[in-house]
Amino acid sequence: MGADTERRVAMVTGASRGIGKAIAKRLACDGRRVILVARNEDTLLSVQGEIESAGGSAGVLAVDVGHTDAWREGIEGVIANEGRLDVLVNNAGVTRDNLMLRMSDEEFDDVIRINLKSAFVSMRAASRAMMRQKFGRMVNIGSTSGVVGNPGQANYAASKAGLTGMTRSIARELGGKGITANVIAPGYIQTDMTSSLPDEVKQKVLGAMALRRLGEPEDIAAAVSYVSSDEAGFLSGQVICVDGGLTMS
């Protein structure tokens, strides 16, 4: 548990697979009690089993973060049951890729609602408990698409760029209460989302990366582990690109 003086409670959205699952498992290894959030309860229970088999502690909250009232009530319920909430990781997200001229209002609105608004709802709900504790770590999972843009992802890039502006604003609002807020922006990571990319696209991406490899979910989990730790109390309002050197130019 490092410098932690008591067991911290962490909540991770999109925790049923990929990056979210890796983050949840890492935080559990760090000594946190982790509340796993996603829509599919059966999948969450499987992840919970993996964590508990390894000696960690986890709970499950099956909810659609895109449904504002249910999501807010879910967070409030977790805080009431656990007595605290120390770490919030907003990882859940969707893509509805399309060229701008073909993109429907629904495709745009869905991505903004799930990727951006749900993070606002959770940060607002979590902030009350964190202010009482005078401690909190808010970590939003952005994307390099929100830093440099990406063709066919006007909606996704907008949601992730918006996440950056919102995070920095909240970091300024809550910093005096001992609460930090940061963005981890993954590049191309080995997940279901990237597995469907054509080989020629993958090769082009690899050629633009200093490390010449795709990242692993554990690479993102390691970054989240640090920024959510007690030791990272002087780091706030930052965007950390974990992308193998893709955006350093």
Q: How far is CA 154 from CA 39, 55, 127, 220, in A?
A: 25, 42, 30, 23
Q: 33 by DSSP, 3-state: which?
A: strand
Question: φ and ψ at 241, to 5 degrees?
Answer: -85, 115
Strands lying side by side in the sheet with 136-141: 57-62, 33-38, 9-13, 87-90, 136-141, 179-186, 239-242
Say if CB 156 and CB 150 are below 8 A apart. Answer: yes
Q: How many CB atoms lie within 10 A of CB 42?
A: 9
Reported as half-sphere exposure (CB side, CA atoms, 13 A), residue 211 has a value of 15
Cα distance from N-terminal residue to C-terminal residue, the chain: 37
Measured distance CA(51)–CA(26) in Å, rounded: 9
Task: Give yes or no: 156 in active site.
Answer: yes
Catalytic-role residue among 71, 108, 135, 156: 156
Catalytic residues, by residue number, are 156
